[in-house]
Amino acid sequence: MKLVTRKRMVAAAFIAAFIVAFAALGAVSKSTTVAGGVTTAGQVPYAPWYWTMIVSPSDPKVLVLGTSNGLYRSSDGAKTWHPVGPKGVNMTSLAVAGNSMFAGGVPGPNPVIRRGTGRTAPDGPAVLTVSTDGGNTWKILHPSGLPNVTLQALASDPAKTADLYALLNSGKLYRSTDAARSFQLVSPKIGAPPWALAVTQDGHLVAGDMDSGGFTSANGKAWQKTPFTDSAGGKMVMEYAVQPSDPSHVVMTSVGILKSTDGGKTWHLALKSRTMFGPVAWAPSAPQVAYAIGFDRSFWRSSDGGDTWTQVS
Amino acid sequence: MSFYASEHAMRAERVLERADLQARLVPGPREVSPNCGVAVAFVWEQEPQVERALTESKVRFEKIHRYELDDSLSTAGTVVQ
């Protein structure tokens, strides 16, 4: 009886050890997958303009890139890219809201026009599309309340998954609270040149462009200019990305890359570089991981919440 | 046309537009210039006027390259950046 008990105890110990080891292996494997994402990228496809990028909420290796040549999708951590979505559309905007990906833009090959002292996407009819399968297929939307005018930027609210902001190239700002089925006017003209837009903590907004710098707003109606200096001593804003797990943390591409920890009120240089950067995105399933693309087609990664950046292609 | 700094490229774009020469910022192909990432594309047939306008306005550029782009500017002729 005593011997049987000892055998059982030994067997139980083996089983317990096996379970612990297996669980530990699983945990390691799981954390490696999440923290992995893009580690060695391939060549970014050439396009006349790089606008924006998003990462799948569930897989840090699935990325969608918005360019003046349309959308490109990678499912292997930016090693290879394939065109997806409607053809012939200058895709200025991408946003993730809930489990849906939204893309917007304007038809035509011309990427950017000069408008006064700034620049925007060219005038034309709006294109708004949605993907519910991780960016594989895209369906054109015709929401009520949104004028048929070039979509300059889309932005989702990290705190409200059904909310989606649409900035037109005229400067008009709209918001949807029903996952892009309908839109309502927020502001007839935002207090920043229509270019890049993001929603930070408590529904606050940041906006800016290449020539005038950055601005913040609590409601989309009143805007304050935010001082910062990019790598070249200028005030260029190319694109924003808001950290999903902490919307007060924002990265901004420019000449180099800047980071804010107060929702875009103040900025510090995270990557000093002579290169002009464009698309930037957080990986929602790996909260400390963010990616950025330079206009020299280089691909960069941050694994520490946007504080430091490493070139991976 | 490649540059040492992106602000030079932006200034070149403005100078060329004021001189009624088609020009715009484009991502610089890596084999052309790794310096600032951004280049200025223009119509190849206007190369002498482009160079003259930039020289007169004292805009610093690195080099002029002949490079075909697959976009709207290339329909107007061969494009360099």
Q: What does the pLDDT look like over A229-280, one tens digit per residue?
A: 998 888 999 999 999 999 999 999 999 999 999 999 999 999 999 889 999 9
- What number of other Cβ atoms are within 10 A of residue B81's Cβ? 28
How far is the alpha carbon of A113 from chain B, nearest alpha carbon, in Å? 8
Average pLDDT value for residue range A123-139: 97
* pLDDT exceeds 70 at position A25: no
Taking the C-alpha atoms of residue A47 and residue A51, their distance in angstroms, rounded to an integer, is 10
Taking the C-alpha atoms of residue A67 and residue A84, their distance in angstroms, rounded to an integer, is 11
pLDDT at A27: 40
Closest CA to A217 of A165, A145, A291, A160: A165
Buried/exposed code over A175-194 (b: 16+ C-beta within 10 A; e: otherwise): bbeebbeebeebbeebbbbb
Least confident segment among A32-46, A210-224, B19-33 = A32-46
pLDDT band, residue A188 (cuts 50/70/90): very high
Mutation for testing the A interface, residue in B22, B71, B75 having most A CBs under 10 Å: B71
* Residues near A283 by beta carbon (within 8 Å), at least 6 away in sequence: A37, A55, A60, A289, A290, A291
Q: What is the pLDDT of residues B15-56, one digit of tens each?
A: 998 999 988 888 876 666 656 778 898 999 999 999 999 999
Q: Are A113 and A195 in contact (CB under 8 A)?
A: no
pLDDT band, residue A104 (cuts 50/70/90): very high
pLDDT at A1: 41
* pLDDT exceeds 70 at position A23: no
Of A210, A211, A297, nearest to B27 by CB-CB distance is A297
**Chain B partners within 8 Å of A234 (Cβ):** 7
**Chain B partners within 8 Å of A232 (Cβ):** 5-7
The whole-chain average pLDDT of chain A stands at: 90
pLDDT at B33: 63
Least confident segment among A102-111, A164-173, A262-271, B69-78 = B69-78
Residue in chain A closest to B73 (alpha carbons) equals A110
Give residue A107's identity as a one-letter amino acid code. P
Closest CA to A131 of A159, A96, A107, A158: A96
The Cα-based distances of A295 to A56, A71, A122 in angstroms read: 22, 16, 20
Taking the C-alpha atoms of residue A301 and residue A41, their distance in angstroms, rounded to an integer, is 10
pTM score of the predicted model: 0.85
pLDDT at A20: 46
Q: How many residues does chain B have?
A: 81
Mutation for testing the A interface, residue in B3, B36, B67, B74 having most A CBs under 10 Å: B36
Taking the C-alpha atoms of residue B80 and residue B28, their distance in angstroms, rounded to an integer, is 10
Closest CA to A245 of A288, A280, A279: A288
**Chain A partners within 8 Å of B27 (Cβ):** 46-50, 278, 295-297
pLDDT band, residue A30 (cuts 50/70/90): very low
**Chain B partners within 8 Å of A109 (Cβ):** 71-72
Q: What is the pLDDT of residues A145-174, one digit of tens each?
A: 999 999 999 999 999 999 999 999 999 999
Q: Are A313 and A43 in contact (CB under 8 A)?
A: yes
Phi, psi of A251 (to 5 degrees): -110, 150
